[in-house]
Copies of this chain bind each other. A is one copy, B any other.
Amino acid sequence: MEIHQLAYFIAIVETGSFSKAAERCSVAQPSLSQQIKKLETEIGHLLFDRLGRRVVLTNAGEMLIPKAQRILDEVQGIKVDIPSDIEEGQGSLAVGFIPTISPFVLPSVIRRFSQEFPQASLEVHEDLTEDIVQKLVSAELDVGITSLPIKNKMLQTEELLTETLLVASSSKYDIASRASIQVKELDDFPFIALNEVHCLGEQVQSFCYQEEVDLSIVCHTSQLSTVHKCVAMGLGISLVPQALAIDDPIEEVSYRAISDSLPQRKIVAATHIKRHRSYLAQQFIEIVRSEYPSNHSA
């Protein structure tokens, strides 16, 4: 059974004749006759009684009408609905954030996304970079919001922004009140380090290695918020994302830029290199970009 056969059939029913139906369908009348014959053979019943110059529906033909009409409508529906549904933002999207980003952007991003695309179903994962990469590769996630570097060659990244890391310290240390901070001064103070399972932890470490600074680490934590609290309690200083200072500042803590060398991390949207970036994914990325504190409040 073929769709055009059903279309021919309905055309005959509506026009009342093979010839008129053929004209409407832009085919020759014999072609249409042949196709109806095939349809009849497949169904096992005559659809029309041929009275010579006239045709009338058989019972089988009568029963076919609603079924055929329905199928044709649905086929038409596919061609119309899917493109329009996609423009309306229907569909699903699975995204991942790393823990040193999500606190600043997740709430506002989810809120805006849900408002703009109420029809979409959003699934958010918080994971370490490594896991996000893996899930992007396996297509469990559509978009990952992480920071560079990402070395997996199956993934592509779109840069969202470059975020500066600031020196966070309490007033207990005089570094908080200096006019400008030099890189070399970092090792003069006890340092609160983020565990290296976080890319931010790695980034800080590699920055210091590059700048030949030998930190005196007094504490390793596994959450950025813990780092923050430790700094506030005066246990030491640390390097934290600017977004933390903007989004969630603590009164007792000062956030100062290093004057002679800027530690930075690049925030990116990572996607699978072979996968089509859906409309929802694109829009999501733009929302993250605009809602990111360092951009958003600027």
Residue A180 is within 8 A (CB to CB) of chain B in the complex: no
Residue of B nearest to A49 (CB): B275
A106 to B45, CA, bound (A): 30
Could you say which residues of chain B place their CB within 8 Å of the CB of A45? Answer: 82-83, 86
Residue of B nearest to A58 (CB): B276
Residue A56 is within 8 A (CB to CB) of chain B in the complex: yes
Partner of A2, one of B3, B64, B71: B3
A135 to B70, CA, bound (A): 32
- Report the interface size class on chain A: 35 or more
Copies in the complex: 2
Residue A295 is within 8 A (CB to CB) of chain B in the complex: no
A79 touches B42 (CB 8 A): yes
- Nearest CB of chain B from residue A266's CB, rounded to whole Å: 26
Could you say which residues of chain B place their CB within 8 Å of the CB of A3? Answer: 1-3
Residue A98 is within 8 A (CB to CB) of chain B in the complex: no
B44 touches A83 (CB 8 A): yes
CB interface residues, A 43-88, toward B, < 8 Å: 43-46, 49-52, 54, 56, 58-60, 62-64, 67-68, 70-71, 74-75, 77-79, 81-83, 85-86
Residue of B nearest to A142 (CB): B59
Quick one: given A44-B83, A274-B49, are A91 and B63 in contact (CB under 8 Å)? yes
Residue of B nearest to A281 (CB): B59
For A211-246 the 0/1 string (1 means CB < 8 A from B) is 000000000000000000000000000000000000
Can you list 8 contacts pairing A with B, beta carbon distance less than 8 Å? A1-B3, A45-B82, A49-B276, A52-B274, A60-B82, A63-B85, A63-B91, A68-B78
